[in-house]
Chains A and B, each alone.
Chain A
Amino acid sequence: MSLNIVTLINALPGAFAQGLIWGIMAIGVYITFRILDIADLTVDGSLCTGGAVCIMMMLNGQNVWVSLLVATLAGMLTGLVTGFFHTFMGIPAILAGILTQLSLWSVNLKIMGKANQAINVDKYDLLVSLRFVKNVAFYKNTLFVVALFILVVVLVLYWFFGTELGSSIRATGCNGNMARAQGINTDFNKVLGLMISNGLVALSGALLSQYQGFADINMGRGAIVIGLAAVIIGEALFKKLFHNFGFKLLGIAIGSILYYLVYQTVIWLGVDTDLLKLLSALVVAVFLGLPHLKSKYFSKPVRRGGNQDA
């Protein structure tokens, strides 16, 4: 088998577009994983919820923008459920997410009526699509449209996490004891953070299902791993460069794009596609484990306690 570089180059814009769409999802994961310090597994379900709601609404004649909005709201609802399990019922966050994710399997099937719902790009006015990646006006180009989405999302989040409420969410994730001592309702903030995160994930799912032309019950499987991979890549590459919160979020989106470019290249290299999820998981495991391994086996002796004069 010969490697044809033209095939790869032709595939790259598509990979780029997918990376951008998943970038919105990765930003959602960043909010729970890094800001709230919760590994939220709801996303594997809420991504599909977003896609299912969006496609079903459009098939029923709704406007694409309304569909996207409702899909986002549906995603926020899934975050609310996980948040309720976690805070009100005291279930560990990771389990709460798994419970919601499992229940969403049924919910998503009920929304779609079957496991897969296709939407025809010629009959419906889609915002993004596989077809809009090449040979279209730039403002219709999926790359441009999704990049714009990301820009708006980043700007809104940058503003929000700079407000009093947003700051209190950051404090909640960083140090719950401190937050409560300062009068912050940490339970409420966790629920709110989970809602925002899953809203973004569902928005990403809604765009993704338009892009690929269908919503599928399996579309969210392993989404959390892709989200984490994007977060890790983005952070690793831009740690020194980006200190501003907004740029950090952009870095995550870029991380997602790189993930899909590498993914596409690996496929092009002829690696068995059945193995891709295994590879993704292993790569993420290694990177998540690095800080621990580093401190355990490669730590340099440092003076503990830092600067002693208070």
Chain B
Amino acid sequence: MLEIRDIYKTFNAGTQNEKRALNGVSLTLNDGDFVTVIGGNGAGKSTTLNAIAGVWPVDSGNILIDGVDITKLSEFKRAKYLGRVFQDPMTGTAATMSILENMAIAARRGKSRGLRWGVTKEEKELYMEMLRKVDLGLEDRLTSKVGLLSGGQRQALTLIMATIQKPQLLLLDEHTAALDPKTAKKVLALTDEVIAEHKLTAIMITHNMKDAIQYGNRLVMMHEGKIIYDVAGEEKKNLKVADLLVKFEQASGGEFANDRMMLS
């Protein structure tokens, strides 16, 4: 399904701020895989997701989705394969446009946009139904500007938008990190539901090791731009947070005392 072959990315090459963010990342996902990704700050988690999404070109390596090489495709062209939810709730939606308009735009991901009316009547009914199912009180606010919604509501909406058109791959970049714990839990539960319902292939970055173990069928740990641990199936299910900490300590030589990973 997704095949990442040995990608490298260095930011600010040749300057004092040179940062090798991806150091030969390779990863193959099967259809229906739900992979959680953990790792310290600067491990290359978000960079990997951005490389897949095409935010900037990678230095070397290839990215394939269902056998199609998308390495050279621009960000907007790859969007037809990808659903994305970002860390910042502001990023995934257009604040000055209504819920309805946002959803209608998302429904046309990967299709050509012409001079047909932007939102049809049938769509309106459909979206209202979708929103009613997630039970966030949004179904009565279709014409409200998205900027008026709370962070949690916006993330939930972004998630729905990412899946109106079933994506080949769903990219979740710490999409609950900016939310308060209660809301984060809700959005995470919704995420799990949506992925199961549409049988999506997904990659989810998280700082929370418990979540990383609880959700998905596979877990990947990154460190210094590399994947250092990749576990699936029964072995993953039986993981404990302590196991992950040990793994991490081995990899990083015990230098992670101050890392944000400790907090979770």
Question: Residues of A with Cβ closer than 8 Å to B?
Answer: 160, 162-168, 170-171, 174-175, 177-186, 305-310
What is the number of residues of chain B that contact chain A, defined by CB distance less than 8 Å? 49
Inter-chain residue pair count (beta carbon < 8 A): 114
Greatest chain B CB density within 10 A among A171, A178, A181, A308 is at A181
B 70-86 contacts with A by CB, 8 A? 75-77, 79-80, 82, 84, 86
Contact B76 A310 (CB under 8 A): no
| B96 on interface, CB distance cutoff 8 Å | yes
Q: A180-B76, A180-B79, A308-B152 are in contact. List 8 more A-B contacts (CB 8 A).
A: A160-B115, A167-B101, A167-B113, A171-B102, A175-B91, A183-B109, A309-B183, A310-B153
Interface string of B196-233 (1 = CB under 8 A from A): 00000000000000000000000000000000000000
| B244 on interface, CB distance cutoff 8 Å | no
Give Cα A177–Cα B56 distance, bound, in whole angstroms.
12
Contact A178 B92 (CB under 8 A): yes
B118 CB contacts on chain A under 8 angstroms: 162-164, 166-167
**Nearest-Cβ distance from residue A193 to partner chain B, whole angstroms:** 14
Give Cα A308–Cα B252 distance, bound, in whole angstroms.
38
B114 CB contacts on chain A under 8 angstroms: 163-165
B95 CB contacts on chain A under 8 angstroms: 174-175
Contact A305 B97 (CB under 8 A): no
Contact A310 B79 (CB under 8 A): no
A167 CB contacts on chain B under 8 angstroms: 97, 101, 104-105, 113, 118-119
Interface string of B117-158 (1 = CB under 8 A from A): 111000000000000000010000000000011111101100
B155 CB contacts on chain A under 8 angstroms: 310
Contact A164 B77 (CB under 8 A): no
Contact A163 B116 (CB under 8 A): yes
B113 CB contacts on chain A under 8 angstroms: 163-165, 167-168, 184
- A310 in contact with B117 given A167-B105, A181-B79 (CB within 8 Å): no
Contact A310 B106 (CB under 8 A): no
- The 10 A-B pairs of least Cβ separation, nearest first, read A310-B152, A183-B79, A167-B118, A164-B113, A174-B94, A307-B150, A310-B183, A183-B109, A180-B75, A180-B76
Q: What are 17 of the A-B contact pairs (CB < 8 Å)?
A: A163-B113, A163-B114, A170-B94, A174-B96, A175-B91, A179-B105, A181-B75, A181-B92, A182-B108, A182-B161, A183-B79, A186-B76, A306-B150, A307-B150, A308-B180, A310-B156, A310-B183
Contact A183 B110 (CB under 8 A): yes
Give Cα A180–Cα B119 distance, bound, in whole angstroms.
19
A186 CB contacts on chain B under 8 angstroms: 76
Q: Which of A166, A175, A185, A309 contacts B94 (CB 8 A)?
A: A175
Give Cα A182–Cα B167 distance, bound, in whole angstroms.
11
Contact B76 A174 (CB under 8 A): no
Contact B136 A310 (CB under 8 A): yes
Contact A164 B179 (CB under 8 A): no
| B240 on interface, CB distance cutoff 8 Å | no
A165 CB contacts on chain B under 8 angstroms: 113-115
Give Cα A131–Cα B57 distance, bound, in whole angstroms.
60
**Nearest-Cβ distance from residue B68 to partner chain A, whole angstroms:** 15
**Beta-carbon nearest neighbor of B134 in chain A:** A310
Contact A177 B105 (CB under 8 A): no
Give Cα A121–Cα B106 distance, bound, in whole angstroms.
53
B7 CB contacts on chain A under 8 angstroms: none
- A177 in contact with B76 given A162-B118, A307-B153 (CB within 8 Å): no
B187 CB contacts on chain A under 8 angstroms: 310
Q: Which of A162, A164, A178 contacts B108 (CB 8 A)?
A: A164
Give Cα A11–Cα B261 distance, bound, in whole angstroms.
73
Give Cα A308–Cα B180 distance, bound, in whole angstroms.
8
**Beta-carbon nearest neighbor of A169 in chain B:** B113
- A310 in contact with B151 given A163-B115, A183-B79, A183-B108 (CB within 8 Å): yes
B180 CB contacts on chain A under 8 angstroms: 308
**Beta-carbon nearest neighbor of B138 in chain A:** A310
Give Cα A164–Cα B115 distance, bound, in whole angstroms.
6
B77 CB contacts on chain A under 8 angstroms: 183
- A310 in contact with B179 given A164-B114, A164-B116, A181-B53 (CB within 8 Å): yes
Give Cα A171–Cα B97 distance, bound, in whole angstroms.
8
| B48 on interface, CB distance cutoff 8 Å | no
| B19 on interface, CB distance cutoff 8 Å | no
**Beta-carbon nearest neighbor of A160 in chain B:** B115
Contact B117 A163 (CB under 8 A): yes
Q: Which of B94, B104, B153, B179 contacts A178 (CB 8 A)?
A: B94
B111 CB contacts on chain A under 8 angstroms: 183
**Nearest-Cβ distance from residue B251 to partner chain A, whole angstroms:** 32
A175 CB contacts on chain B under 8 angstroms: 90-91, 93-95
Contact A308 B106 (CB under 8 A): no
Greatest chain B CB density within 10 A among A163, A183, A309, A310 is at A310
B 222-258 contacts with A by CB, 8 A? none
Give Cα A162–Cα B110 distance, bound, in whole angstroms.
19
- A308 in contact with B108 given A178-B91, A181-B53, A181-B92 (CB within 8 Å): no
